Structure 1
Amino acid sequence: MQYDIAAIVQGYAQGYFLMADDDDGLGWYSSRDRTLIPLDEQFRYPTSLRRVLNQERFTVAINRDFPAVVAGCANRETTWISPELQEIYLLLRQAGFAYSFETWQGDKLAGGILGIVIGGAFIGESMFYRIPEGSKVAMVKLVEQLRQQGFVLFDAQMMNPHLERFGAYSVNDEEYQTLLQQALVTRCTLV
């Protein structure tokens, strides 16, 4: 199937995100309240995770095994990442818009975060882990990387208890659109 990658990127740039629906078709979605991960001192994580970080059990990589991260994010009982959406992520990666931020333990993929980068916006699509703490370490290291590179926005789309522990907060659509517009005119690179 042919996909219009420019149109897909434009959809994300307008604040929408793709998800598979119940019929395995794809749809564009938005939310009145958007969940953001803070890129300032409001970002936090549990003390127990600080110990794991200090032990340096994991190394981090970007796009070392992008297809495995996509597969890991899709590998759950209920998923919005259909085979069609997996294919789109791979095409977005080839076009330079999709990234996997990964944690590794030796030669084993421990966890990762899948996201779309447009300007200074990192739009988190999903995360997973295979080794406990793998995705949490990826979150901390990704936030550090986004800060270093001058990103404006880390969009996590929807709130969940896991994200709340990192200081995630909600903004209304008007606030989100303002931040998104600032991010779109900011030149950033993840690597």
Structure 2
Amino acid sequence: MNVLKTEIVFPGVDGASSEGIVAIGGDLSPERLQLAYKSGIFPWFEDGEPITWWSPNPRMVLFLDELIVSKSMRNILNRNIFKVTFNQNFRGVISNCQNIKREGQNGTWITNDMIEAYCKLNELGSAKSVEVWQDDELVGGLYGVDLGHIFCGESMFSTISNASKVAFIALVNQLKKDNYKLLDCQVYNPHLESLGCREIDREEFMSILNVSKK
């Protein structure tokens, strides 16, 4: 197992374990986080555990033209019951992602140190959020790391039905306008699959990641 020290470097993702672990240790400094995402790596660990860096194979992604919007979801969007903003309340979004109750999970991997680290990335322009409002109340959203041609989604939340889907669809539509290559969703879950996400080989993901935005 690769153990990171103070030097800000990562081993190649080809050396990841079968579970997708690339390394442990290091810190959550902006410089290390930025290098991680540019290298196809992200942190994922629980409070009290060492920082663990992942690059899973396969990788869950959304090719933007493959977004699935159901008829019922289109009806919700057409009713304009939600207001969507971009990057207006990053801390509110990530804090809600930390606190929201999730089925089958006892806790959260979004530690307080994680929140401060990603808020710093947001201040630097690397991490961004989508907010969904209803009657001036933040009811849904998502956040992730923006690489300029790939958006690396981290987490989303919803306090009322469908609000996180509204955030997801709004993000995808904006990424399409800006000619992004794909939305990185990291690991499989059935909710993401229902929105059109699918798994690809890590090698394919890395080849797309390493192509600069035109």
TM-score by structure 2 length?
Answer: 0.81
Using the alignment, how far apart are the partners of 1:20 and 1:90 within structure 2?
18
Q: What residue identity is the alignment partner of 1:34? A: R
For CA contacts below 8 A with separation 6 or more, give which structure has more relative contact order: 1
Matched, 1:70 2:91: no
Q: Which 10-residue stretch deviates more, 19-28 or 140-149?
A: 19-28
Match of 2:130 among 98, 101, 105: 101
- Rounded to whole Å, the distance in 2 between the matches of 1:10 and 1:3 is 11
User: Structure 2: which 5+ runs fail to align?
Assistant: 1-26
For residues 105-133 of structure 1, the C-alpha deviation after alignment (integer angstroms, 9 at most, x for no partner) is 12111200111001211000000011211
- Rg (Cα) greater in structure: 2
Out of 136, 147, 154, the position equivalent to 1:118 is 147
Deviation at 1:38, TM superposition (A): 2.2
Q: Which amino acid aligns with 1:21?
A: E
Q: 2:171 pairs with 142, 145, 149, which one?
A: 142
Q: 1:48 aligns with which of 58, 68, 72?
A: 72
How far 1:43 moved relative to its partner?
1.2
Q: Cα 1:133–1:84, aligned 2, differ >3 Å: closer, same or farther? A: same
TM-score (norm 1): 0.91
Distance 1:94 1:141 in 2: 22
Q: How many residue pairs were aligned?
A: 183
Q: Which moves more between the two structures, 21-30 or 127-136? A: 21-30
Asked if structure 1 preserves the Cα contact closer than 8 Å seen for 2:132 and 2:140, the reply is yes
Structure 1: gaps (5+ residues): none
Q: In the aligned structure 2, how far is the partner of 1:131 from the partner of 1:22?
A: 27
Identity %: 36
